[in-house]
Amino acid sequence: MKDREIERPVRRKKLANIKSQIKRNKQNQAARLRNRVYRGTARTMVRKAQAALKTAETSESAQAEMTAAIKALDKAASKGVIHKNNAARRKARLMAKANAIEAK
């Protein structure tokens, strides 16, 4: 063994031996991938809406982005990906930013 070589322990994945747990793991993986789409879409839409509010080129474009973000948040909440209060809080923060910009 060379001086700089470090011996690493072999790591193996722990897999279930029980049939029902193997099935449950498959279901969890499928649900995780499905949920990831809704969560990612909601996050992206909110980010786009915030960017549209910052630039505020036209209120119509910002309004369209906000509508899309709210729709994505509602969809994620209805699917159970995020909690309904989490969606409500994010929508409220988004609306507060929009109202603060319009008040100026």
pLDDT tens for 41-65 read 999 999 999 999 988 767 888 899 9
Q: Which CATH architecture fits 23-103?
A: Up-down Bundle (1.20)
17, 61 Cβ separation under 8 angstroms: no
Task: Tell me the HSE value of 49 on the side-chain side, using a 13 A CA sphere.
Answer: 26
Domain ranges of the chain: 23-103
Average pLDDT over residues 16-45: 94
Asked if residue 90 has pLDDT above 80, the reply is yes
pLDDT, residue 57, reads 64
CB neighbour list of residue 49: distance below 8 Å, 6 or more residues apart: 62, 65, 66, 68, 69, 94
Q: Confirm whether pTM is higher than 0.75.
A: yes
